[in-house]
Structures are given as C-alpha cells and as structure tokens.
Chain A
C-alpha cells in the first residue's frame, strides 16, 4: 500500500498544452508539498499546503496552480506548458513541526 502516490508517472506533451498531476497520501499527515527536480537533480520546493491551506508559495510562474481538496490530496495543474517545465515533479507529505518528508515516486514531465 503506497504511502504517497502520484499519477501519472510519465507525461509527454506539446508546448502550450495544459496538464495536471495528482497526489494522494495515506500517512495521515497534515502537510503536503510539490518539489521540482531539474535535469541536474537539483530539488526545489514549489508549494506547500497544511490542512488545505497554502503555506509556502515559492517564486513559481502563475501557470502553476496547486489545489488541495482535503489534507490527503494535493494536485498540481500547469497551464500553457513551456520547454523549461520539463522536469520530475515530486509530491511529498509530512507531519507539521516534524519536517521529515515522505516522497512519492515522481512524475516525469517532458514538454516537446
């Protein structure tokens, strides 16, 4: 039973399209995150939600819009995809105040 699951695992799409990635955690955590890992393996936080409330919003283009319908789910919608959006997007969860993150398997986005 996967603790943090993301779908889809792979996304290949054309520039200008819109796509979504979904994430669900069954760990009972109250905080969820989106991280972006680029081709050099650098990991950077994008967003974080605590109990459905946005608490971290890094300098990310407005084309990226997260949504958390409940504390177990965090989705990421990307509009007007660009070549530079190609990366692996990781969802993670943690219990607030503890900090240790548990990561999903990642969603590899390729924009052509």
Chain B
C-alpha cells in the first residue's frame, strides 16, 4: 500500500522567512503533484513533477522531486500572508494512471 507522509503537519512562520515542506512516499513513483487548499475551499493544482530531478517554480514557491529518495520538497521563499493555506502532495500509485494518493497535508500559517 502506498503511503504518503508530509512534515511538518503544521507550520507557523513569520512573513519574510524561508521554509521547506517535505513529502515522503513509500513506493516508487515518477509523478508527484502539489495542491493548495484554502479553508472551506477546493483544491488548486500548484505543480506537476514528472521526472527525477524535476524542479518547478511559481512566485515564492518552488517544488522539486527526487524519485530515488522518494522525496519531494516545497520550498517557500520570503513568505507572505497570502500563502497561508493547507498544502498537499499527491503521488500516483504505480500501475494505476488514475489513482492519486494524497499526503497528510501541511497547514501553513504566515503571521505578520
């Protein structure tokens, strides 16, 4: 069974600081996704990482994938309050093109 774990589960950080969220998964997979969810809202796709060494950046967020270590990171640079949300990573179960298994989520709170 594929397990996807994120840490930390909760992160409180000040505006302007940098931090990294980690996503570990238990089974080989070469596709990983990052999603953002605001309170009471839907999930918004942030990044799609399709190969080992993939790096994607959008604004203050940068995601990377190391398939050998079964690890993805979501790095936040100079956090701003608008980044406060819950962030999920999700991994495709090998052999099932459609089944995404989600991580536990990291609730990010950026304080002024």
Contact present for A105 and B41 (CB under 8 Å):
yes
Please give, as numbers and ranges, the residues of chain A lying within 8 Å of B97 by CB-CB distance: 96-99
Cross-chain pairs A/B with CB under 8 angstroms, 9 sampled: A41-B105, A43-B43, A45-B101, A48-B99, A90-B42, A99-B98, A99-B100, A100-B33, A101-B90
Q: How far is the CA of A105 from the CA of B40 in the complex (A)?
A: 9
Contact present for A99 and B88 (CB under 8 Å):
no
Chain B residues packing against A (C-beta within 8 Å): 31, 33, 37, 41-45, 48, 86, 88, 90, 92, 96-102, 104-105, 107
Q: How far is the CA of A104 from the CA of B41 in the complex (A)?
A: 9
Question: Given B41, B43, B98, B101, which contacts A48 in the complex, CB threshold below 8 Å?
Answer: B98
**Across chains A and B, which 4 residue pairs bring their CB atoms closest together, nearest first?**
A43-B102, A103-B43, A103-B42, A97-B97
Size band of the interface chain A makes with B? 20 to 34
Please give, as numbers and ranges, the residues of chain A lying within 8 Å of B88 by CB-CB distance: 43
Q: Which of A10-41 contact B (CB under 8 A)?
A: 31, 33, 35, 41
A100-B45 CB under 8 A given contacts A41-B105, A42-B105, A43-B88: yes
Please give, as numbers and ranges, the residues of chain A lying within 8 Å of B43 by CB-CB distance: 43, 90, 101, 103
**Is A50 engaged at the interface, CB distance under 8 Å to the other chain?**
yes
Contact present for A101 and B45 (CB under 8 Å):
yes
Question: Given A44, A50, A103, A105, which contacts B98 in the complex, CB threshold below 8 Å?
Answer: A50
A56-B102 CB under 8 A given contacts A100-B45, A103-B42: no
